[in-house]
Amino acid sequence: MSQINETHDPQLISWVESANQENNDFPIQNLPFAVFKRKDSNESFRAGVAIGDYIVDFAALVSHQVFSGDVARAIELANQENLNDFMSHGKDVWSQVRLALSRALRQGSDLSEKMKTCLVPQSEAVFKLPCVIGDYTDFYASIHHATSVGKLFRPDDPLLPNYKWVPIGYHGRSSSIDVSGQQFKRPKGQIKAPDAAAPVFSACKRMDYEMEVGIYIGSGNDLGESISLDNAEDHVFGMCLLNDWSARDIQAWEYQPLGPFLAKNFASTVSPWIITTEALAPFKTSWHRDEADPQPLAYLESETNRQSGAFDIQLEVLLETETMREKGDSANHLSVTSFKHSYWTVAQMVTHHTVNGCNFRSGDMIGSGTQSGPSHEEAGSLLELSFGGKESIALKNGETRTFLEDGDTVIMRGWCEKEGFKRIGFGEATATILPAS
Ligand code: MN
């Protein structure tokens, strides 16, 4: 697992001025990865690392020969349209690049003049998915979400008996995951009203978002081998924001007996930047299991997981309606919570996923499941905030919502803050719903 080192020093200052500004998501302590090119150019997509309002362009690092030796070889690995190759090489290689970039971007670095020719303003960039996501699994790791949703679908039996023993998940679909800026048509499907005898075919009327953390696997495991709990985080390259769009009316009719299907696989949105597990090291925190609850089976239990298995990542959702956009009003805050409330940790999800010998490949994505905090205001979906559509939510401009309407843009933000460390941010995952065709 990642330890605190010189790259996390809160005193570090960059020669890139914007990186030192208060509340900039990308100070020198962050250094997240993305894949980008200049807008309206016929350049190839390639890797970059965020610093303030700029991107360190890996293609330029290679052509200007800024680094040499092992670091140059690692940067060449990353200088591709997809980061899978680089991500598969493991944490020592990731760490080497982070340290080299941290030193080169510090105020007073000998490399600053050369590095200045390798910066692209983020405002001039377009992003794509940072890697090929071969497989995608969505967990259900927030007990607060599982309990409130369970109450709506099964009032007498909200939490099924396996929930406190097994990290529950389903295999999702990677083909419809896209990067922030995604626009998609409202899905259509089979919908059955509770009192109707038969379903109808219709556009979704209960369109919802789910605020999740996306976890990118870096180095995988061989088929037949499993990843132990204390090694699990070493396999995680980093994390992003994930919006697991959900058609609640389609879901309610189809989800039994095999789980989510067409209610989930029409679109999912990720933020462009991968915040590395190493950058998140200062924001790891203790993980607790209520004494009244079943304690984890041995393969999901360790002292390290108890001490520092949770990640304190603030997760915020905002809504921008078409009216707000037309009038130039700012987006409406809906909720904020922390990933630290998750019932299962990232390490437990990784270990559980492989305990039967299932193999992860580099670039695979795990969704954390909707992250809702202990209080109602911290809910990570409209299904919960509107009590299953029964109570409408008042927006500050006088509009109301139970579920999402056409033209609505959902904006997700994330950040980590802790006394004694520099705040780091995740950027945004933003996407807009278009009318059904
Ligand atoms: Mn989900």
- Determine the distance separating the centroid of ligand 1 and the alpha carbon of 139, expressed in angstroms: 7
Interatomic CA distance for residues 330 and 328, integer angstroms: 7
267 and 175 in a common domain: yes
Q: What is the CATH number of the domain that holds 370?
A: 3.90.850.10
**pLDDT reported for residue 228:** 98
pLDDT value of residue 1: 57
Tell me the CA–centroid distance for residue 341 and ligand 1, in Å. Answer: 16
In the prediction, which pLDDT does 166 show?
Answer: 98
What is the domain extent for residue 60? 6-128
Q: Looking at the structure, do residues 58 and 184 belong to the same domain, yes or no?
A: no
Last residue of a domain, one of 84, 107, 128: 128
Per-residue pLDDT of the chain (437 residues; tens, 9 = 90+): 569 999 999 999 999 999 999 999 999 999 999 999 999 999 999 999 999 999 999 999 999 999 999 999 999 999 999 999 999 999 999 999 999 999 999 999 999 999 999 999 999 999 999 999 999 999 999 999 999 999 987 888 899 999 999 999 999 999 999 999 999 999 999 999 999 999 999 999 999 999 999 999 999 999 999 999 999 999 999 999 999 999 999 999 999 899 999 999 999 999 999 999 999 999 999 999 999 999 999 999 999 999 999 999 999 999 999 999 999 999 999 999 999 999 999 999 999 999 999 999 999 999 999 999 999 999 999 999 999 999 999 999 999 999 999 999 999 999 999 999 999 999 999 999 999 99
- Region for 90 from its dihedrals, namely left if φ exceeds 0, alpha if ψ lies in -120 to 50, beta otherwise: left
Are the beta carbons of 376 and 370 closer than 8 angstroms? no
Active site residues: 145
Look up the CATH number of the domain holding residue 90.
Answer: 2.30.30.230
Q: Are residues 121 and 257 in the same domain?
A: no
Q: Residues with Cβ < 8 Å from 382, sequence gap 6 or more?
A: 208, 209, 334, 393, 401, 402, 403, 404
Select from 415, 430, 429 the least CA-distant residue to 26.
415
CA distance 200 to 254: 13
Ligand 1 center to 242 CA (angstroms): 9
Q: How far is CA 346 from CA 45, 151, 215, 401, in A?
A: 30, 26, 8, 33
Distance (Å) from CA 342 to ligand 1 centroid? 13
Q: How many domains does the chain have?
A: 2
